[in-house]
A and B are shown apart, each in its own frame.
Chain A
């Protein structure tokens, strides 16, 4: 079993839709939870970072962590064509190294 599971998609939604992206993990030692966005032929860039269970909001983006279920989510409100990219969850324990999900490819069409 992989440490982090993420549905690769692709996920195709119309502009303005609410998007839900999810990851599950198996190691309860993970303490830091991140979402990265990766545009085609670019490196991943940090989108959201959370430390504890609960919600964190930043503009149209909300990250949610449920440690009891080992489940993390990213919600995108009012999705835009410019949100079309791959979204990768990333988790870390008490070291510097990040374990990434395989990424979900999102396409927002006008």
Chain B
């Protein structure tokens, strides 16, 4: 298995633009998580899905952020409009509904200028 695949690896965009981050979880995993990592705040859970259904989105910072999981093999995290404070590394992880089984992707490094 290729693991959790995220794209793009790097994204540089101007303030106000829409940004879409993509994630392909490991086949057979039924939980998917979006995290954001910054030096100041560490790894923060934004939202997680179980069987494609959003379970907890309490970490989504504000209405500018939205996430979808249209099927078991694909999820997106969208920021519209983007702001410089959104600059961070965004990680996607998947698991088989077990806390010991998270596999992380390599992350998307987002820079908003």
Contacts and interface: CB of A to CB of B under 8 A. Distances in A.
Contact of B45 (A6, A45, A98, A101): A98
Q: How large is the interface on B (under 10, 10 to 19, 20 to 34, 35 or more residues)?
A: 20 to 34
Given A42-B107, A96-B31, A102-B42, 5 more contacts: A43-B107, A44-B91, A97-B56, A100-B43, A103-B43
Interface in B1-57: 4, 31, 33, 35, 41-43, 45, 48, 50, 55-56
Given A43-B91, A96-B50, A96-B95, A101 B102 contact: no
Contacts of B33: 96-98
Interface in A83-110: 88, 90, 92, 95-103
Main secondary structure on B side of the interface with A: strand
A97 B98 CA distance: 9
Contacts of A96: 31, 33, 48, 50, 55, 95, 97-99
Contacts of A102: 41-43
Contacts of A88: 42-43
Contacts of A49: 99-100
Contacts of B43: 44, 88, 100, 102-103
A43 B99 contact: no
Closest 4 CB pairs of A and B: A43-B104, A102-B42, A92-B99, A100-B43
A73 B23 CA distance: 32
Nearest to B49: A96
Most chain A beta-carbon neighbours within 10 Å: one of B43, B56, B99: B99
Contacts of A32: 99-100
